[in-house]
A and B are shown apart, each in its own frame.
Chain A
C-alpha cells in the first residue's frame, strides 16, 4: 500500500536502527508525546531495535486517557437523560467513569452511538429533531477543528438540538507542565505529527529554547519514529537544542491556517483538568460565548458533578513519564483492559493498554 509500506520497510528500519546505535554515546531519555506513537512503538516493538542507551518515555498524548473523570461522569449523566442521544468516538465507550462507562450505560438502555466524525453526530441531530443530540467532543488540536466545524454548521442551520460536551486539550501547555515538574528526566521530545499538521511547530520551537532540549516533529510509522529518534539523538549528541521536522510529508511550520481559524472561531483557551495530571493552566479549549447555545454544559444541569480518581492508579505518573505501566501494583492484576481502573488501560493508544497488549502483562 503506497505511502504506508515504504515506511515499514524492514531494510530501511534496520539501517535507521543501526544509525541510531552508531550515533549514541550515552544514556538519553526521549519522550514520544503522542499516544499514536506509543501504540506504534509497542505494535512494532521498536524498543527491541534500539540500543540500551535510549529510554523511551510515553507521553500524555492519548486524548482518551487524559479526558478528566468528571467529563466522563457528565457524559454518563447526559446519556441517561430521557430522549437524549449521546454520540461518541468509539474508544471513549469503555473509559471508566466513577461508577460506570458508556458501554454499560448503553446496555442499560441509554442511547449511546459510536460515530466516526462529529458530522455524523450532526446528521443524527438533523434526522432526529425531537431528540437532543450531544457529541462528546474530545481530543487535541487534531480533532478540535472538525468538531468546531460541526458547531459552525449547526449554527448555520439554526439547529436547537445539537450540543457539544467539550473536553478538548492542547499539547504544548501539558508538555510545559511536565517539563517544569521536578521529577522529570526528559532529554528530548518527539513532537506529535498530527497535532503539528494542524498547528505547525512554532510552539515547539519555544519549548526547545525554554527547556534547552531538542525536538523532532515525528510521524507514526516505524521508520517515521526511528527517524525522529535518530534526529533527536544526533541533536542531543551534538548539543543542538533545536526543532527538526521529520514528518515533512504532512507538517509545515505554519500548520493549517484554515483549521486553526475554524478552531479558534468556536473555541477559546481555558484552564483544563487532565486525568491523572491535574489542572494545567491554558491547556484546554472551551466553547466561546457566541456558541454557548450549543454547549452541553450550559444547556444541561451538570455543575453538581464532582469526581475523584481511584487512588491506586498511577496514571498521572505514567502520563507524566515518571513511571512505567509495569511499575503500577494494579497493572495486569486488578487493572486490565477488561476492568480498567485508569484510562491509559482503555484506549489502544494508552501506555498501559499498549504495554498489556504488546509487551508483558506482569
Chain B
C-alpha cells in the first residue's frame, strides 16, 4: 500500500488569504499574475524599494481608489488608479515618471477580475508613459475590504518655467474646461444603480498628460490646472477661489455636456456641476493665450469639446454662475454626497 499525503491546491480561481501570506502563493500572485501582466510598464529592481535619479523640481502625489463597481463603461479601478495619480501630477505642471502600486485585495476576488484590473493598470501606464517601480499586495478577510482597493503614488518632474498652483489664480484669468463634464459620475452612478440608457454612458477616465503638454507647447504661463474629480467642477472652482481669494464667474450655457449625461442628470435629479470627472482639466490662464491654448487642446482627441467656461473677476472668494436664463447665482461647494431626489 502506498502512503500519500493530500497535496495542497496550487491552482485557485479566487484570491485566498494565503495569497497574502508571504509564501509560495504570494510569490506566484506577484510574479505570475501582477508582474507578468504589467509587462514592460514595471521596472523590477529586486530590492526593498526603487532608487530614482530625478534631476530638478519634482511633483509627488498619492491617491487611493475604492470605486464600486470595479468595472464600468469606459474603464475600471485599475485604469482609474493610474490616471487619477497621473492627472494629479499633470495638474502640478509635471511630466509623470514613476508610480507605486499597492493593492489591498479582499479574499474571494476572482483571479480573472484581478488580471483584468492589472491589465488596465498596464494599459494606462503605457498610454501615460509612466513606469511602475514599486508596489505591495495585501489580502484581507472577506468583508474587510470591497473586492479590491488600490493606492498609487506618483512622481513627476516639473520642467523649468512652470509654476502651476491655485495661489497663481489672478484676476482676468480665463477658465477653460477640456471637455464634457460629469461623464464619470453618471457612468458610475448608472452602473451602480442598474439604470440603463439607450447606449451606456462611458466614463471619461483618461490620462491628461498629452493635453497638458499641448497646452504648455503654447505657453508656460499657465496659472492653475485642476482635475475636477470628486465634487466635480463646482467643488474644484470653489477650492481654487477660496485658496486664491478670487471671484470666479462661469456661464451655465457654456458648460459642455453630453446629451445622454444631461438626460441622466434630469432623471436622477443630479447637478452635473457636482459630479466627478476623471479625464478633464480646468485650466486658468491669461486671456491673451486662451484662443491658442483652446485650439491646441481641441487638436487632441480627448479635447475636442473643450470650451471657455468663465473667468476670474475680482477679489472675493466666491463662485458665481450666469444661469441659462440670464440671472446670476452662487455656486456652492458640495455638501456630502449628492443624493437622488424623491421626485
CB-CB nearest in chain B for A223: B325
Report B-chain residues with C-beta under 8 Å of the C-beta of A89: 340-342
A79 close to chain B: CB less than 8 A: no
Kindly specify which of B62-70, B258-266, B278-286 makes contact with the partner chain.
Answer: B258-266
**B residues within 8 A CB of A348?**
269, 341
**What's the interface size class on A, roughly?**
35 or more
Nearest A residue (CB) for B325: A13
- Of B193, B262, B269, B339, most buried by chain A (CB within 10 Å of CB) is B339
Closest to A62 in B: B342
Produce 1/0 per residue, B128-147, CB < 8 A to A: 00000000000000000000
A281 near B: Cβ within 8 Å? Answer: no
A47 CB to nearest chain B CB (Å): 8
Complex Cα–Cα for A348 and B106 (A):
37
How many of chain B's residues have a CB under 8 angstroms from any CB in A? 25
Smallest CB separation, A203 vs chain B (Å): 19
Asked if A150 lies at the interface with its beta carbon under 8 angstroms from chain B, I say: no
Shortest Cβ distance from residue A340 to the other chain B in the assembled complex, whole angstroms: 9
* B195, B332, B335: most-surrounded residue (chain A CB, <10 A): B335
B51 at the interface (CB under 8 A from A): no
Partner of B323, one of A45, A64, A92: A45
Tell me the B323-343 residues at the A interface (CB within 8 Å).
323-330, 332, 335-336, 339-343
**Whole-angstrom CA separation of A42 from B343 in the bound complex:** 17
**Residues of B contacting A43 with CB < 8 Å?**
323, 329
C-alpha spacing A143/B269, complex, angstroms: 15
Contact B325 A8 (CB under 8 A): yes
Chain A residues, Cβ within 8 Å of B259: 1
A300 proximal to B (CB < 8 A): no
A121 CB to nearest chain B CB (Å): 13
Residues of chain A contacted by B325 (CB below 8 angstroms): 8, 10, 13, 44, 46, 49, 222
**Mask: chain A, 330-353; 1 = CB below 8 Å from B; 0 = not:** 000000111000000001110000
Q: Note all chain B residues with C-beta closer than 8 A to A92.
A: 342
What separation, in Å, do the CA atoms of A347 and B341 have in the docked complex?
8
Contacting A at CB under 8 A, from B290-343, are 323-330, 332, 335-336, 339-343
Select one of B328, B332, B340 contacting A91, CB under 8 A. B340
Q: Mark out the residues of chain A between 29 and 63 whose CB falls within 8 Å of any chain B CB in the assembled complex.
A: 36, 42-46, 48-49, 63
Contact call B339/A42, Cβ cutoff below 8 A = no
Residue A273 at the B interface, CB < 8 A? no
Instruction: Tell me the bound Cα distance from A349 to B342 in angstroms.
Output: 10
Residues in B whose Cβ lies below 8 Å from that of A103: 336
Looking at the complex, which one of B324, B327, B335, B339 makes contact with A114 (CB distance below 8 Å)?
A: B339
Which residues of B have CB within 8 Å of A64? 342
The CA of A92 and the CA of B330, in the complex, are separated in Å by 25
Query: Any chain B CB within 8 A of the CB of A245?
Result: no
Residues of B within 8 A of A336 (CB): 335
Chain A hits for B329, CB < 8 A: 42-45, 358-359
Residues of A within 8 A of B269 (CB): 348
Structural contact, A44 and B324, CB atoms closer than 8 A: yes
B343-A139 in contact (CB<8A): yes
**Chain A residues whose C-beta falls within 8 Å of the C-beta of B339 in the assembled complex:** 90-91, 93-94, 114
Most interface-central of A91, A93, A347 (chain B CB within 10 A): A91
Are the C-beta atoms of B328 and A45 separated by less than 8 Å?
yes
Additional 18 contacts, C-beta under 8 A, given A116-B268, A142-B343, A348-B341: A10-B253, A10-B325, A36-B343, A42-B329, A44-B325, A45-B323, A49-B325, A63-B343, A89-B341, A90-B340, A92-B342, A94-B336, A103-B336, A116-B340, A138-B342, A222-B324, A347-B342, A349-B341
Hey, which bits of chain B sit against chain A, CB under 8 A? Answer: 193, 195, 253, 259, 262-263, 266, 268-269, 323-330, 332, 335-336, 339-343
